[in-house]
Structure 1
Amino acid sequence: MTLHPVVSAVTDRIRERSRKEREAYLRRMDEMAQRERGADRMGCANVAHAFAALPANDKLKVVAERAPNIAIVSSYNDMLSAHAPYAGFPEVIKDEARRHGATAQVAGGVPAMCDGVTQGTASMELSLFSRDVIAQATAISLSHDVFDAALMLGICDKIVPGMLIGALHFGFLPTVFVPGGPMPSGLTNQEKAKARELAAQGKLGRAELLEAEQKSYHSPGTCTFYGTANSNQMLMEAMGLHVPDSAFVNPQDGLREQLTREAVRTALSITRGRRFTPIARLVDERSIVNALVALLATGGSTNHTIHWVAVARAAGIRIDWDDFAQLSAVVPLLARIYPNGQADVNGFQAAGGPAYVIRELLDAGLMHEDVFTVREAGLREYTREPGVHEGRLQWRDVGPSRDSEVLRPAGEPFSATGGLKLLEGNLGRAIIKVSSVPADRHLIEAPARVFDSQDALLRAFGAGELEAACRENGTGGLVCVVRWQGPRANGMPELHKLTPPLAVLQGEGWRVALVTDGRMSGASGKVPAAIHVSPEAASGGPLARVRDGDLVRLDADAGTLQVLVPDAQWQARSPAAMPSEQAERNGFDLGRELFAGFRRHALTAEEGACAWV
């Protein structure tokens, strides 16, 4: 199939834009790959320290027999459902490595925080920067430099991007990502969302709300909605960094262990010799574009308009929001997964999952097929689904969609476009996800109500002020502007707590929208939200000039975000200063003072909000 001209043009533009940095990056990685292996290169004391804890047989293999040594970098902890399944993975990996004459060591762990736990709390202001801490922890884990390959055990929001950034800084190593899988389905996401809206209206008590939440989040595995965590897994499949179609197999399924063992065999197959494939060569501009296309085709998380910019940068590749927007205009929406549909990720997998999506995109010329993956057969192998047949792990063609309400072919999509739009205007540049926003809400023009924090908006809603404003302003609507939420202001927390109250207002018939320099959860949905507004207010961005009552126009179809104030008046306005109580609040409490340097040095959201550049 001929590659779509827009996909080709975007890829060419990224390649040309990145040429100098990419060439320098590959040069460094090639030089590192050509060194002697660590156990031969290092001093005797260094080698003795590195392998002192290994069983004698393993020590003999790695030192005397020069066997491959695999690094295991894990996000395991036992308080978070997504990471708890990783507890037993290292022993399985070591056993499989030994069966193939190799060794494996747990090189290190990375922190894993859960945005579901920290939503609306002070700890959320550490969330985005935890990605860069994870990248640093991955680098520290690999810095002992005695490894021939790496397995990355990570799954959730910042963990996979952080591990991938760290792995790309050690891009001379072949690397395979190992998923843990989603929890089985519990209370439906629709019922959970309804419970939250009723609670926001005061119609459901805490005990009843807690019961609903616990029925939704109920066992080991990732959450079942298609937020950032599960979007990560789709992107890993599209980039060829997983064992094919291993993303959404439940932790309790016996197939999960077989796929983990296959990850070991896969890593060993690309470690030396003819198929040596370090991750630096695998992650190129084509695989980055493939990831973006898969994100758009499945209605994935808006957080990746930040994270994948940072991932690409780690590989010497520069992408921006124009690339997302131009791809979104031609990539059809093939999946309906909550919050963009009724099904959860288990329903998505049952309907055909990543294998179906990748096949449809390849056949439609919307993905690059001529890319490296961790598998010899290339990306086409990712269009097949695994199973155990006659005691052996085997793959077979995914076939047609098994549920047309969840997955559709590229020729009959749910929407002709990917649903992610770039907004531009005198309020800056922003991202909006419209795949689940009703078509009659793509254009909102209403007076602004300006808030300096998430809590301030929630208090106003609780006091009935937002509904009163909608009644009184003559437009039947309201644009809530929440500023001082960008990377340099307070670490760019997700503002997911705003979804229920705004959804309540919209459900009552009011025309409401959110405009913010903060993030929304990967599960944000039906309320129009212009997010990641750049430059942010704390850097003197336009949101610092907005005042209560200013008429704001958000037009997702036209791609505009404007305050309708005469230009001379607008330019004459001095930007507001961050309120002192907001600045003080962001300084101390729950360790936020440790991240002051991250806030000072963070790039813009469109540049990946990186604090390590």
Structure 2
Amino acid sequence: MTSEATTKLNPVVAQVTATIIERSRASRADYLARMEAQAEQGPHRKTLPCGNLAHGFAACGSTDKDLLSQSDVANIAIVSSYNDMLSAHQPFEDTPKAIKKVIAAKGSVAQFAGGVPAMCDGITQGMPGMELSLFSRDVIAMSTAIALSHNMFDGALCLGVCDKIIPGMLIGALSFGHLPMIFIPAGPMPSGLPNDEKARIRQLFAQGKVGREELLAAESASYHSAGTCTFYGTANSNQLLMEIMGLHLPGSSFINPNTPLREALTAAASEQVLNLVKSGSDYRPLAKIVDEKAIVNAVVGLVATGGSTNHTMHLVAMAAAAGIVLTWDDFSALSAVIPSLTKIYPNGVADINHFQAAGGMSFLIATLLDAGLLHADVLTVHSEPGLQAYRTEPQLREGKLAWVDGPAESLDTSVLRSATDPFSADGGLKVLKGNLGRGVIKTSAVKEEYRVQEAPAIIFQSQAEFISAFQQGLLEKDFIAVLRYQGPRANGMPELHKLVPILGSLQDKGFKVGLVTDGRMSGASGKVAAAIHVTPEAAAGGAIGKVQNGDIVRLDATTGELNVLVDQAVLDARIVAMPDLSANQTGCGRELFAVLRNQVTGAGTGARSFDLSVDEGL
């Protein structure tokens, strides 16, 4: 094991961290002062009037009532995303009972403080409900805050997995950052239909060569049991980030649900949070764990593995909730020096279970530490100090949980490699800039020969319009699709996955194709060059709204260029008539989110509805 004392931190990682610290100095100091003020008041339960406290434990048994009447007994909040419709969250059904049992055995109390909504982008894809998805993150943040607002608690356990749930939970939890908190995942479902076969059938369906029955059979064989979807999208990116930020116990991210090891890790987290409370042996508030170094570690982990592009928004918002100002330029600077270490679908054919079998998080963190690409001197929720403890992985030995050294070498170099033998020298993410604004591109899944596209624009203002044009045979040519009015202000920024099989099939036919959009495409952005999250968005007056059919658009992922090749004076003089967006504003609950659409910040500052003071130009 290489010690942190002998590993020199990469100078770019050090410089980016220093820049973030300086940029965030005032806002971070303000945040920490607020959290320290809350911490100084101590557990609020002892200050509650008797009537308030009686309400707080009225439903408890006599033993718990007696314990909660004592100010020196820890009460742990449980906040969960459980529902039994969604595979990723169903395994949490019995978790609160298991947690309560473990904590009761330690002489303390756990209360189920509240649930948060959990929606699935896979179900709402291409449907009106998808326009609530991004905003559900901030609703989840508010729901987490409501769960913790009763001030009955000394710490918390957050049960969550998928796309908006973990970012939302962490944002909400950070408002209570004076409390220690541990995040507990449910784990991925076992592997099903291979990802390359699933992609092949999706593309055949898009071409009309197979029917809905064959497609549904393939999808059902892929998404087939309880647990997270196994491709490397936002859900599994969430788990990686929580672990590399030290908010999971080591090695707990990708253990399958309903297994003895999964249950042992949940029990260990339940015990450990009791050590971290203010009255425990090792007080570690969430506010101190989520610092600038932890945020940089998260970005490093994301780009090293080609994780979800959604986190170019979520991580910015999560950082802001801790008083830290993170920008897309930080992502780009880090991606330039962080090697690409994984091939997990859509960047490859392996799934997250193959990554786990090849060495998983213990090997990934170890090789990044040894290369000086991660901050080792961070606070985590584990009993051992620093990130070096995350080189280990959990095992059951004679029925007891133990952490042992992870593999010294990757067990499958087609899936996971060391920092000294990467798939590529840089990460899988790049910021694009030009007269169309700023956007991001996930290059890790795009072959080098497709990373530069220059072709006439075809303008679309909905995903349905694009699909219709394809079905009519109007896209059998070189073009760059400019799909606009898909940003957070326009319609909540739904994901645009239905474009991927179509664009992929056209690219396979030899056409030069690309995509420029103010919408998003998550971790499954696929093999086509796509400039996504373009900001300012069209609905906020962005230049993407001024592009006309036939304009030549240049998207260059090697130089970071995103331009429409039109004289700037001509572009500036164009007058844009705002289309009728009323169809996006009602139905399926969309009318309830009008206030969020009206005040949301741009993608570059996290597409968030809280803390609106940050400059969009960052």
How many residue pairs end up in the alignment? Answer: 602
What runs of 5+ residues in structure 1 fail to find an aligned partner?
471-476
What runs of 5+ residues in structure 2 fail to find an aligned partner?
1-6, 612-618
Partner of 1:473: none
| 1:493 equivalenced with 2:494 (yes/no) | yes
Partner of 1:13: 19
| 1:296 equivalenced with 2:294 (yes/no) | no
8 Å CA contact retained: 1:430, 1:530: yes
Q: Which residue, out of 59, 63, 78, partners 2:84? A: 78
Partner of 1:612: 610
Aligned partners of 1:561 and 1:90: how far apart in 2? 49
Question: What is the CA deviation profile of residues 306-336 of structure 1, one whole-angstrom value per residue up to 9, with x for unaligned ones?
Answer: 0000000000000110000000000001111
| 1:174 equivalenced with 2:175 (yes/no) | no
| 1:433 equivalenced with 2:435 (yes/no) | no
8 Å CA contact retained: 1:545, 1:576: no
Partner of 1:570: 571
8 Å CA contact retained: 2:16, 2:334: yes
| 1:379 equivalenced with 2:394 (yes/no) | no
Partner of 1:160: 166
Residue identity opposite 1:604 in structure 2: G
Partner of 2:350: 343
Aligned partners of 1:226 and 1:390: how far apart in 2? 33
8 Å CA contact retained: 1:200, 1:500: yes
Question: What is the CA deviation profile of residues 273-300 of structure 1, one whole-angstrom value per residue up to 9, with x for unaligned ones?
Answer: 4520100011000000000000011110
Partner of 1:474: none
The Cα shift of 1:39 comes to 2.4
8 Å CA contact retained: 2:231, 2:352: yes
8 Å CA contact retained: 2:275, 2:281: no
8 Å CA contact retained: 2:392, 2:403: yes
8 Å CA contact retained: 2:46, 2:71: no
Partner of 2:30: 24
Question: What is the CA deviation profile of residues 482-532 of structure 1, one whole-angstrom value per residue up to 9, with x for unaligned ones?
Answer: 000001000011001110100110111111000000000211120110000
Partner of 2:423: 414
Aligned partners of 1:241 and 1:567: how far apart in 2? 47
Q: Which residue, out of 253, 266, 283, partners 1:247? A: 253
Question: What is the CA deviation profile of residues 71-117 of structure 1, one whole-angstrom value per residue up to 9, with x for unaligned ones?
Answer: 00000000000000000100100000011111100000000000000
| 1:397 equivalenced with 2:397 (yes/no) | no
Partner of 2:266: 260
| 1:280 equivalenced with 2:287 (yes/no) | yes
8 Å CA contact retained: 2:246, 2:380: yes
Q: Which residue, out of 124, 127, 134, partners 1:121? A: 127
* Correspondence list, 1:193-212, <5 A: 193-212=199-218
TM-score normalised over the length of structure 1: 0.97
Residue identity opposite 2:20 in structure 1: I
The Cα shift of 1:390 comes to 2.0
Residue identity (%): 58
Aligned partners of 1:82 and 1:428: how far apart in 2? 36
SS in 1 for 2:522: coil
Residue identity opposite 1:409 in structure 2: S
Residue identity opposite 1:459 in structure 2: S
Partner of 1:451: 460
Aligned partners of 1:175 and 1:25: how far apart in 2? 17
Aligned partners of 2:395 and 2:213: how far apart in 1? 42
The Cα shift of 1:342 comes to 1.5
| 1:91 equivalenced with 2:97 (yes/no) | yes
Cα 1:571–1:393 change in 2 (3 A) is same
Runs of 4+ in 1 over 4 A off after TM superposition: none
Aligned partners of 1:65 and 1:39: how far apart in 2? 7
Partner of 1:585: 583
8 Å CA contact retained: 2:239, 2:253: yes
Partner of 1:478: 479
8 Å CA contact retained: 2:272, 2:383: no
Question: What is the CA deviation profile of residues 384-426 of structure 1, one whole-angstrom value per residue up to 9, with x for unaligned ones?
Answer: 1111112210011111111010111100000100020000000
Aligned partners of 1:274 and 1:59: how far apart in 2? 24
The Cα shift of 1:217 comes to 0.6
Question: What is the CA deviation profile of residues 557-603 of structure 1, one whole-angstrom value per residue up to 9, with x for unaligned ones?
Answer: 000000001222122211241x21xx111111101000000000000
Residue identity opposite 2:413 in structure 1: S
Partner of 2:4: none
8 Å CA contact retained: 1:544, 1:576: no
Partner of 1:326: 333
Aligned partners of 1:518 and 1:570: how far apart in 2? 22
Aligned partners of 1:525 and 1:493: how far apart in 2? 16
SS in 2 for 1:203: coil
Partner of 2:600: 602
Residue identity opposite 2:396 in structure 1: V
8 Å CA contact retained: 2:78, 2:113: yes
8 Å CA contact retained: 2:119, 2:133: yes
The Cα shift of 1:376 comes to 2.9
Aligned partners of 2:29 and 2:144: how far apart in 1? 24
Question: What is the CA deviation profile of residues 50-82 of structure 1, one whole-angstrom value per residue up to 9, with x for unaligned ones?
Answer: 011111111111213631000000000000000
The Cα shift of 1:36 comes to 3.3
8 Å CA contact retained: 1:248, 1:345: yes
Residue identity opposite 2:400 in structure 1: R
Residue identity opposite 2:406 in structure 1: V
Aligned partners of 2:545 and 2:43: how far apart in 1? 54
Aligned partners of 2:96 and 2:516: how far apart in 1? 44
Partner of 1:553: 554
Aligned partners of 2:336 and 2:18: how far apart in 1? 17
8 Å CA contact retained: 1:447, 1:479: yes
Aligned partners of 1:43 and 1:58: how far apart in 2? 18
Aligned partners of 1:487 and 1:356: how far apart in 2? 37
Residue identity opposite 1:527 in structure 2: V
8 Å CA contact retained: 2:145, 2:175: yes
Moved more, 188-197 or 279-288: 188-197
8 Å CA contact retained: 2:74, 2:274: yes
SS in 1 for 2:69: helix
8 Å CA contact retained: 2:170, 2:318: yes
Aligned partners of 1:37 and 1:53: how far apart in 2? 20
8 Å CA contact retained: 1:333, 1:418: yes
Residue identity opposite 2:534 in structure 1: V
